[in-house]
Chains A and B, each alone.
Chain A
Amino acid sequence: MIVIIDCGIGNVGSVAHALEYLGGKYFISGNRKDFESADALVLPGVGAFPAGMKNLREFGLVDEMEKQVLINKKPFMGICLGMQLLASDSTEGGFNTGLGWIEGHVISLSPEGNLRVPHVGWNDVKFDRSSCFSHNIDENAHFYFDHSFHLQCDKSLAIATCEYGGTLVAAIQRENIFATQFHPEKSQRNGLKVLRNFLNFVGKH
């Protein structure tokens, strides 16, 4: 059973529909008690960084997430804001600290060449072909992005990148923690393949 973490904001409905399409068993919950029995946790995106952090803290979810992901090493997937919240800090809406699971900073997009911000739409993603999350995905497959801020972290953590007036981190992985800046639940077949790869990752874990 995969628990889709509901922290009051976030497009949990869309993530649920995508997992349902793939036949994945899921449960939407904002209650820490449900995390113990979960095989894996998914933290969906859509939201502002300070609001996301505030809700995770107020709902009392941070300790339990850390216990399940950092100590029990359950597979975790963050999507969009769900990836950014893993960082040490963010400048969205003022300086705020994040979960700090990944050493990195979230800063506003300032693409070269006067490109428009937010970065909205389908962009080519270059995966590290050795990553299990790139299985079955074509070179330069398109994924849907929608963000104004982006994660800066050590290159060794990035397993996928995209170009938007500079190179952006599109996905990261460290052990059992996987996260994407794009929305796999909204990227048609390519996105569903990434989610399938995550389900397989959970199955093998």
Chain B
Amino acid sequence: MLKARIVAILIVKGEIVVQSINFKQFLPVGSPSIAVDYLNSWGVDEIAIIDIDATPGKRNPRFDHISEYSKYCQVPLSVGGGIKNVDDIKRAVHIGADKVVINTAAVKYPRLISESAGLFGNQCIIVSMDVRKVSKKKYEVYINSGNVSTGYSPADLAKRSEELGAGEILLTSIDRDGTKKGYDLELIGQVLNVVNIPVIACGGVGHPQHFLDAINMGVSAVAAANFYHYSEHSVTTIKSYLKAAGANIRLDSYATYNEFAFDRLGRPRKKDDIFLEKLHVEYIPEEII
């Protein structure tokens, strides 16, 4: 049975991974290569690296960096930021990307979606939509790293992108970005209802339960960025929480955090003293493939 995917998004600004808050404030985290290496070994299901400076800076994607990140990535790698023509996609896929994320270009040059899907197949093309709530019930898609309004409703753009040949929709709430309040489930519902391609939810995760909320709505993948930083084995502990809650996910890593209890913030709880007293160290040699 197909598993719901736990996706890590790495927002790259300058040449480092940052945490983004409402697309306005950015906190430095560290090297993208190290982040990819860690997330990969913690058993993440997919990694997307988005270079948020490329389009506003009218710059090409940094292909040499993509190749470097890819060396550490044994899970699917999607790359976005500054991709505006078929040659960019060809180059990215050739040097280590498996899929591409198109945001601004998907709105400005809709033909790029159909042309690239014709060459690389629709499964290779992820259309990313950054969405802002503009009134009580109304949402609007923004491009150029959230700076320029398009007039499109997310449902309309998602539907149009699917018709043109997009293989997945990456749906990000700008309002929830970095707030830890959970996904905008109303927004997710609007898009899920109108397309038959997989939808990846993004923006606002602050607790493993938030992943579960979106999975239960029917998204194919749940993404977060900031939530993975600053804690060891973050992906593994999140997956352990989801598995305990009955979600259909993949938990294949060496450490599984099975039989751990979780505190109210969703972190593994310290085992009781009697358990720790009896604890002994077991050496599990790394499997040689």
Residues of A within 8 A of B (CB): 6, 8-14, 17-18, 20-22, 46-48, 50-51, 81, 92-93, 114-124, 136, 142, 144-148, 163-164, 183, 185-193, 196
The A contact surface, by secondary structure, is mixed
Complex partner residue of B167 from A14, A50, A148, A193, CB under 8 angstroms: A148
Contact of B98 among A8, A46, A123 (CB under 8 A): A46
Q: Residues of A contacting B76 with CB < 8 Å?
A: 144, 146, 183, 186
Interface residue from B43, B75, B77, B117 paired with A48 (Cβ < 8 Å): B117
Instruction: Report chain B residues within 8 Å CB of A145.
Output: 2
A-B contacts, 13 listed (Cβ < 8 Å)? A11-B93, A14-B97, A46-B93, A46-B121, A120-B167, A121-B5, A122-B2, A122-B45, A144-B45, A146-B99, A186-B75, A188-B74, A191-B74
**Residues in chain A near residue B123, CB distance under 8 A:** 46, 118, 120, 146-148
Q: Mark B71-105, 1 if CB is under 8 A from A, else 0.
A: 10111110000000000001001111111000000
Residue of A nearest to B167 (CB): A118
Rounded to whole angstroms, the CA-CA distance of A67 and B119 in the bound complex is: 27
**In the complex, which of the residues B3, B93, B97, B289 contacts A189, with contact meaning CB atoms closer than 8 Å?**
B289
Residues of B within 8 A of A192 (CB): 74, 289
Main secondary structure of the interface of B (DSSP, over half): loop
With A14-B98, A122-B250 in contact, is A117–B196 under 8 Å at CB? yes
Distance between B155 CB and nearest chain A CB, rounded to angstroms: 16
At the interface, yes or no: B129 with Cβ under 8 Å from chain A?
no
**In the assembly, what is the distance between CA of A145 and CA of B167, in Å?**
13
Q: Does B220 contact A (CB under 8 A)?
A: yes
Indicate if the CB atoms of A122 and B121 lie closer than 8 Å: no
B1-18 at interface with A (beta carbon < 8 Å) = 1-5
Whole-angstrom CA separation of A148 from B45 in the bound complex = 19
Q: CA A18 – CA B76 in complex, angstroms?
A: 12
